[in-house]
């Protein structure tokens, strides 16, 4: 490697390995502070736990505009468990429409099918999304439950969730709506009082930038009432039990107080940044798009469906997604990700999550430029 290239890469290298992968994501400063000071000082049945729970619930209600009648539930398990919680707490006779626009949306539908549910799938090619018109046409078949995905992490596609919810409600206000917001919650303005989903779920290790120690699902009053009519709900995913405990600022089984403290700290951090965080996320993905265009690369997502929390970008000829990911780690101390599943070889995925600054994104993209422009040299061809 020439001295010039080595100096360039050294100047662009992050001092410690920095996560730019779409989850688990780099911890935010507020979360890091909680972790550095954490000591176990009370049990989950102590008054202090209830105070902590109440504060976290209050901040969730404020940040996501959750009406009094709905309820945020806080868990020590990850987001996928909440896919299954929806199954356990809805009648087995329910006819469900699920999406397949990538691996995660497909998997949620599969979870229902594996439990013997009647599930119809509305699919789109990878990179494409679902338009309100496409959903509207499908709804004529008659459903009790529609499962949507706000942001498909395997492809970097975001859906216009407000418009899709409107279409469902217009078709029939009786249809329940579940939304997987695992990789977007926190990054865009979501008002639960206007969106009115019945289940809105996410994991903590994405835009919340917390270690993988929990998840949240906001449930509507009618979803809670419906659950009471369902038999054989099991134990760990019994929504009725979780709601009954949450009313007393408790949880049926142990949820780490660390989870509560991290969520509270992150929500306060979000509130301090305010709506500017939505613009920052857009600026980060705009920089990713501009970088791709500058290098003659393209996004997997179709125009209009670009995710605000990650971009899936093609790799230059002769490179592979895993190869560029490994090079970014070696030369820049930056962890990006290859494309997902069948797109792994031809793409990389770069997150725009948590508290990542425009300066940090600029540094990463400059570093990737240096790598791709000097690929042969870095790989021993000269």
Q: How far is the CB of 287 from ligand PLP (least distance, A)?
A: 22
Q: Judged by CB under 6 A, which stretch of 175-183, 259-267, 319-327, 363-371 contacts ligand PLP? A: 175-183
Taking residue 196's Cβ as centre, other Cβ atoms within 10 Å add up to 18
Rounded Cα gap, residues 27 and 195, in angstroms: 28
Q: How far is the CB of 15 from ligand PLP (least distance, A)?
A: 27
Q: List the structure tokens of 349.
A: 């995925």
Nearer to ligand PLP, 94 or 202 (CB): 202
DSSP string, 82-112: HHHHHHHTS-TT-EEEEEESSHHHHHHHHHH
* 214 touching ligand PLP, by CB under 6 A: no
Q: List the structure tokens of 346.
A: 């031809």
**Interface size with ligand PLP, residues (CB under 6 A):** 11
> Quick one: which H or E segment has residue 376?
helix 375-378
Q: Judged by CB under 6 A, which stretch of 1-9, 73-81, 226-234, 354-362 contacts ligand PLP? A: 73-81
Q: Judged by CB under 6 A, which stretch of 78-86, 288-296, 332-340, 372-380 contacts ligand PLP? A: 78-86
Q: How far is the CB of 253 from ligand PLP (least distance, A)?
A: 17
Q: How far is the CB of 254 from ligand PLP (least distance, A)?
A: 18
Q: Judged by CB under 6 A, which stretch of 180-188, 322-330, 353-361, 374-382 contacts ligand PLP? A: 180-188
Per-residue x/- track, 287-306, ligand PLP (CB under 6 A): --------------------
* 79 touching ligand PLP, by CB under 6 A: yes
Nearer to ligand PLP, 28 or 374 (CB): 28
* 203 touching ligand PLP, by CB under 6 A: yes
Q: Are 122 and 97 in contact (CB under 8 A)?
A: yes
Length of the chain in terms of residues written = 382
Q: How far is the CB of 324 from ligand PLP (least distance, A)?
A: 21
Q: Are 39 and 367 in contact (CB under 8 A)?
A: no
Q: Are 282 and 305 in contact (CB under 8 A)?
A: no
Among 320, 298, 321, 323, residue whose Cα is nearest residue 311: 298
> Quick one: which H or E segment has residue 227?
helix 221-228
* 180 touching ligand PLP, by CB under 6 A: yes
In sequence order, what are the residues at sequence separation of 6 or more whose Cβ sits closer than 8 angstroms to the Cβ of residue 157? Answer: 101, 102, 127, 128, 129, 151, 300, 301, 302, 305, 306, 307
Q: Judged by CB under 6 A, which stretch of 77-85, 137-145, 269-277, 283-291 contacts ligand PLP? A: 77-85
Phi, psi torsion values for 237, nearest 5 degrees: -115, 25
DSSP string, 266-284: HHHHHHHHTTHHHHHHHHH
* 182 touching ligand PLP, by CB under 6 A: yes
Q: How far is the CB of 256 from ligand PLP (least distance, A)?
A: 15
Query: Within 92-121, which residues bind ligand PLP (CB under 6 A)?
Result: 104
The residue ranges that bind ligand PLP (CB under 6 A) are 23, 78-80, 104, 149, 153, 180, 182-183, 203
């Amino acid at each position: 490697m020439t001295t010039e290239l080595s100096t360039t890469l050294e100047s662009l290298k992050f001092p410690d390995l920095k996560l730019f992968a779409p989850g688990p994501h780099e911890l935010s400063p507020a979360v890091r502070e909680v972790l550095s000071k954490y000591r176990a000082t009370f049990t989950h049945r102590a008054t202090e736990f209830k105070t902590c729970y109440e504060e976290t619930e209050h901040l969730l209600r404020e940040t996501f505009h959750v009406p009094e009648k709905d309820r945020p539930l806080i868990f020590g398990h990850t987001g996928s468990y909440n896919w299954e919680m929806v199954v356990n707490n809805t009648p087995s006779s329910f006819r469900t429409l699920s999406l397949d626009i990538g691996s995660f949306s497909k998997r949620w539908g599969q979870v229902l099918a594996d439990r013997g549910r009647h599930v119809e799938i509305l699919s789109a090619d990878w990179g494409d999304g679902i338009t309100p018109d496409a959903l509207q046409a499908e709804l004529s078949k008659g459903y009790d439950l529609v499962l949507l995905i706000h942001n498909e992490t395997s492809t970097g596609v975001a859906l216009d969730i407000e418009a899709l919810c409107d279409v469902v409600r217009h078709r029939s206000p009786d249809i329940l709506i579940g939304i997987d917001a695992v990789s977007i919650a926190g990054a865009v303005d979501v008002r639960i009082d206007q969106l009115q989903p019945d289940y809105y779920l996410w994991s903590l290790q994405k835009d919340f930038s917390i270690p993988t120690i929990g998840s949240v699902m906001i449930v509507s009053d009618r979803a809670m009432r419906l659950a009471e009519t369902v038999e054989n709900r099991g134990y760990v995913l019994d929504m009725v039990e979780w709601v009954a405990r949450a009313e007393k600022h408790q949880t049926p089984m142990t949820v780490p107080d660390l989870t509560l403290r991290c969520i509270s700290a992150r929500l306060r951090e979000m509130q301090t940044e305010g709506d500017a965080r939505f613009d920052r996320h857009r600026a980060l993905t705009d920089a990713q798009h501009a970088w791709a265009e500058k290098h003659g690369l393209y996004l997997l997502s179709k125009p209009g469906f670009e995710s605000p929390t990650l971009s899936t970008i093609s790799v230059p000829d002769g490179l592979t997604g895993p190869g560029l990911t490994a090079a970014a780690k070696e030369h820049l101390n930056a962890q990006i990700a290859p494309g997902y599943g069948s797109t792994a070889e031809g793409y990389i995925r770069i997150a725009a999550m948590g508290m990542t600054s425009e300066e940090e994104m600029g540094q990463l993209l400059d570093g990737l430029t240096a790598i791709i422009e000097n690929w042969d040299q870095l790989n021993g061809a000269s």
